Structure formats: C-alpha cells, structure tokens
Structure 1
Amino acid sequence: MEDILAILAFAIALPWIIFHYITKWKTAASITTDDEMLLEELYNLAKRLDERMDTVERLVASDNADFRPARLVSNLEADNQQLRELENLIAEKKKEARR
C-alpha cells in the first residue's frame, strides 16, 4: 500500500510542481500593455532629447571651431542603426495591434 502511495505521489506531485513553476515563469516574464506604453513614451522622449543634443552640439560647433563632439564626428548612420531597428519593431507591433 505504501508503495502505491509513493508511486502516485511521485507520478502526480512531481509533474504538478513542475507545471506550476513553468506557469509562474511564463506569466512573470511578460510585460503588461501599460509597461509597453510607458516604454514607448520613454523611447519617444529619449529620441527627442537626442535630437536636441544634436542641435545644441551643432550650434556650439558652428560657433567654436575647436569643439568636436564625438557624436558629430562619428558616422551618424552607424550610431542610429539601433534606433532604426527599434522603430521598425515598434511599427510592426502597432500593425499587429491594429489587426
């Protein structure tokens, strides 16, 4: 009788514990729509601040010939590649949400 209880406990309890924690792991890994909206707002704010910094650096560089910030000297295409990839992901996400 004890052997049967041990086998049942092992056969039922172990998978239940495993599936329980798999479910917890999957739900904890996702972000909510409010989190996504906040991230998008923060991204837009960072993008605007980056554009403002570029403008200020261009103005200072035009007034002072010795001023050479790394942001203006380096290749801007390579610098902004990650931002473009993120913008593409956001655009795809919006298209999926409309469907």
Structure 2
Amino acid sequence: TRSCGLFLSDSLTFEALESQVSQGTFTPLSPSLVLKQPILSLSPIAAQRFSWGQKLPESDYPDGWVQVRDNCDRFLGIGEIREGLLRPKVVLPLE
C-alpha cells in the first residue's frame, strides 16, 4: 500500500516508535522522503510566513510535495503546492 510516496511496509509499530523515542533515535521525517522532493528556497520574509503555517503563492512549481528551505539552505519543513499555493504540511521550529 502506497500513499504520497510512502509505503505501509515502511511504517513503525507503536512498540518500535516507543523504543526509538526512549533511545533518542526517533526522527519524525525519514531522510529518504525528504531527499526525493524538489527543493523550494524561500526569501527571509516568506520563510517566516511558512514557519507560521501561512499559505504562500507559488506559481513557479507544479503541484506536488516540496522540501522547503530558506535562503541560507536551512531545512524549514515539507510543503504541498496545490492550485498555485504553497501549503505548509510539516514545519520545523526556527532557531
């Protein structure tokens, strides 16, 4: 079973999740998921708005999932472009 490029066989059981969290090895995003997505770089103002969860106009990319980075190449999260709007889906906190 596949959804958005993810396979059910790659999911974690609750026991595995609990074990990873207790060992400090859990990562909420698989690097392989992120690396498959095109990179969208945002200006500082747009990056701030993305980090607040705001939708942003985006007409240069086709509909689909993107990894979002700021102009210093810091990973900000995952967004979905749909109907000309970048919609934040996973947002990492700014430091």
With normalisation by structure 1, the TM-score equals 0.24
Question: Rg larger in 1 or in 2?
Answer: 1
More helix by share: 1
More strand by share: 2
Larger relative contact order (Cα-Cα within 8 Å, sequence gap ≥ 6)? 2
With normalisation by structure 2, the TM-score equals 0.24
